[in-house]
Amino acid sequence: MVKVFKLVKWIFILLLLLLATVLGLRAWDAWRAEPLKLWHTHVPDDVRAKAIDQLDWAGYLALEKKLFDDVRREVTDQLPEEDRVLSNRYFSGSPLYPGGFKNDWNRSYILLPAGKPVGTVVLLHGLTDSPYSLRHVARRYRDLGWVAVAPRLPGHGTVPSGLSEVEWEDWTAATRLAVREAQRLAPGAPLHVVGFSNGGALAMKYALDALDDVQLARPTRIVLISPMIGITELARLAGIFGWPAVFPAFAPAAWLGIVPEFNPFKYNSFPVNGGRQSSLVARTLQAQIVAASDSGKIAQLPPILTFQSVVDFTVSTRAIIDALYSRLPANGSELVLFDLNRNAKFGPLLSPNPELRLERMLPAPPRRYSTVVITNASANSADMIARVVPAGASEEQVQPLALTYPFEVFSLSHVALPFPVEDPLYGMKPDLSEDYGANLGTLAVRGERGALVVSLDSLIRMSSNPFYPYMIEKIEHGITAGK
């Protein structure tokens, strides 16, 4: 017994030493960091969950306008001379300044069809993101006669510091508000919920919440794009990294990344609290999925259509399969996976990580859900095929696609999926009829180091989806079905 006590004591001491080391390194990094800017220190007074539950859509938009007015007054109008540069989205003279655009897609919006609505869709953007990210999907729903409601989730669209005090319950409250507005505009119509990244977790959580709350309208279909179903163990400890920030000298420790803000519709800087709140959503969601599975309520979920890149630095592809799809009933759900470019010219350079092998990722058929793998027709071809295994089947069907893997692209990415290659900001072949100050998807990362104000990592990540036509076609099938 004495030996066990000593062992526990030494383990405890080692853990304390490890924690002290981590915090010491974080404090040291914060001490050496560049001073925080106004968009890191000014925290706008965004609306919170309790207030959102008492608001209607018009009331939410009114408070949102005050929020953007506050950012203009306290950040844009107060910028010191050194921050009044063309690469800063908060400088009113910059081509990246959202306030200068015809439409500021950082704000909540509703798209109405020309005639009587045949359905409604709520679209939930990702972490550090804005309603811009799902506007292409929203427009397609609108064109097919559906009302599209895209809320700006609290903490987003303004300044990165907006995420430093937000709580995940604020996001779920905004989701409920958007659904209420959708139902008001088209009572009794079919309801879809589309979620991208962290918005995917919120979409799934809303669907599960609706199983237990008769006051919540139940979705008839869920569409998930790169959903944040799973998190890494490191993400669970994200909050610890911000502890040194309780001392003013170490304020930068409250940030996992402090970088220039050159993207008009997405934060580049990333506060610790944003990651922590997102991890809390994922952990809460996973517990809900297990509870719904154990109780049998999961059988009441609508069909779920998910699009996911096989390689994803942000979310766990395996968790989508193991934590969600493995528990779904045979209800018409489908999982679409976008493979790496298996063309021979990339083959020797691809990671040997076994987790990137599809045969290890997917359980053996038959499965209760359909699977589609978008991949190369062969190791020597850029032509794409869809390898389809219907729910309950064991045999694979191969469908040729009129798509090719761009020769310069080795994989998609977490952030690429909702954007067609024609997107004016993120696309490889941008539509120049819209101008948002930069064509981030066209930048070729070739040149000398030190010439750019941004890191190369932020530019080499694929930012648009060459297989978007296939994705939107799959979504359209559910739209036209009216379910």
Domain count, the chain: 2
Q: pLDDT digit of tens for each residue in the chain (483 aa)? A: 666 666 666 666 666 665 555 555 544 454 455 779 999 999 999 999 999 999 999 999 999 999 999 999 999 999 999 999 999 999 999 999 999 999 999 999 999 999 999 999 999 999 999 999 999 999 999 999 999 999 999 999 999 999 999 999 999 999 999 999 999 999 999 999 999 999 999 999 999 999 999 999 999 999 999 999 976 555 555 555 555 554 454 456 678 888 899 999 999 999 999 999 999 999 999 999 999 999 999 999 999 999 999 988 888 888 899 999 999 999 999 999 999 998 866 666 666 665 566 767 899 999 999 999 999 999 889 999 999 999 999 999 999 999 999 988 889 999 999 999 999 999 999 998 999 998 988 876 666 655 666 666 666 788 999 999 999 999 999 888 755
Cβ pair 374, 391 in contact under 8 A: no
Model pLDDT, residue 175: 98
Q: For residue 103, give the nearest of 420, 434, 430, 415 by alpha carbon.
A: 434
Residue 11 lies in a domain: yes
Cβ pair 149, 121 in contact under 8 A: yes
Q: For residue 49, give the nearest of 222, 281, 285 by alpha carbon.
A: 281
Model pLDDT, residue 230: 77
Residue 193 lies in a domain: no
Residue 220 lies in a domain: no
Q: Which domain holds residue 2?
A: 1-32
Residue 232 lies in a domain: no
Buried b (16+ CB within 10 A) or exposed e, 391-413: beeeeeeeeeeebbbeeebbbbb
Model pLDDT, residue 31: 41
Task: Count Cβ atoms below 10 Å from residue 177 Cβ, excluding itself.
Answer: 23
d(CA 232, CA 237): 9
Residue 20 lies in a domain: yes
Residue 61 lies in a domain: no
In a 13 Å sphere around the CA of 184, the CA atoms on its Cβ side amount to 11
Tell me the two tokens of residue 466: 């060459």
Spell out the residues 6+ positions from residue 456 whose beta carbon is closer than 8 angstroms to its own.
445, 449
Q: Calculate helix-pair angle for 168-185, 272-295, nearest 10 degrees.
A: 60
Q: For residue 196, give the nearest of 237, 112, 267, 138 by alpha carbon.
A: 138
Rg of the chain on CA atoms, in Å: 23
d(CA 308, CA 324): 13
Residue 6 lies in a domain: yes
pTM recorded for the entire structure: 0.91
Model pLDDT, residue 461: 81
Whole-angstrom CA distances from 165 to 42, 43, 149, 275 are 11, 8, 25, 12
Buried b (16+ CB within 10 A) or exposed e, 265-276: bbbbbbbbbbbb
Tell me the two tokens of residue 356: 């990137």
Cβ pair 27, 250 in contact under 8 A: yes
